[in-house]
Chains A and B, each alone.
Chain A
Amino acid sequence: QVQLVESGGGVVQPGRSLRLSCAASRFTFSSYAMHWVRQAPGKGLEWVAIISYDRSNEYYPDSVKGRFTISRDNSRNTLYLQMNSLRAEDTAVYYCARGGSRYSSRDAFDIWGQGTMVTVSS
């Protein structure tokens, strides 16, 4: 079935970097926008980044802009999130999610990974 599998989470010290990966399978990865969404322990959902299907556009909220970079390798069906200058408030479960197709003006997160935990602590 259509699947997203995240990896790369772990415990990291404040100020350090971490890269998350999200492997996609059983759908045409290169035809969809992709997102990262996070959820701090016991808190709600926060959208983190989007990349268009062809890598032409990326957007971030102010909370991560300039520190996080989303990228994708359509030949490897893989999405990435490079996280630099990590802070304690970045501690969360990070989900990758499939967005709208290249043929749609709509963006709803219809497929989600299982999530990977990132803990920023000294």
Chain B
Amino acid sequence: DIQMTQSPSSLSASVGDRVTITCRASQSISDYLNWYQQKPGKAPKLLIYAASSLQSGVPSRFSGSGSGTDFTLTISSLQPEDFATYYCQQSYSTPFTFGPGTKVDIK
């Protein structure tokens, strides 16, 4: 099975900050990497698919990069509605696996 790790596990940031979250796969997954945002009590929301493609309707301050084993989600200017938990997920092979999540909260 492909293991996914994320760093940091949590971070505190201010509105307007640039935020970067890293995701690493235990083996190469090409660009079969997706990013989700989840707010408390809500279902996850797809932000980025195929490592760098922005899902329709998602603000352009979100961007993704990487391939192989190392990936990054960047929020260029953090907004109040962006405080949430972020998960990466590989869709290269089953079992599809998620990272443990990165919680972004207010500094």
Contacts and interface: CB of A to CB of B under 8 A. Distances in A.
A106 to B, nearest CB: 6
Interface string A79-122: 00000000000000001000010000011111011110000000
B34 interface: yes
A50 B91 CA distance: 11
B50 A108 contact: yes
B96 A47 contact: yes
Contacts, number: 58
Interface in B64-107: 87, 89, 91, 94-101
Residues of A in contact with B, size category: 20 to 34
Contacts of B101: 44-45
Contacts of A27: none
Contacts of A112: 43-45
Given A95-B43, A109-B34, A109-B44, A46 B49 contact: no
Given A95-B43, A108-B50, A109-B44, A45 B87 contact: yes
A121 B77 CA distance: 44
Contacts of B87: 44-45
Determine chain B's interface SS by DSSP, over half rule: loop
Nearest to A45: B98
Contacts of A113: 43
A61 interface: yes
Contact of B95 (A45, A61, A106): A61
B49 A45 contact: no
Nearest to B55: A110
Contacts of B95: 47, 59-62
Interface of B: 1, 32, 34, 36, 38, 43-46, 49-50, 55, 87, 89, 91, 94-101
Interface of A: 35, 37, 44-47, 50, 59-62, 95, 100, 106-110, 112-115
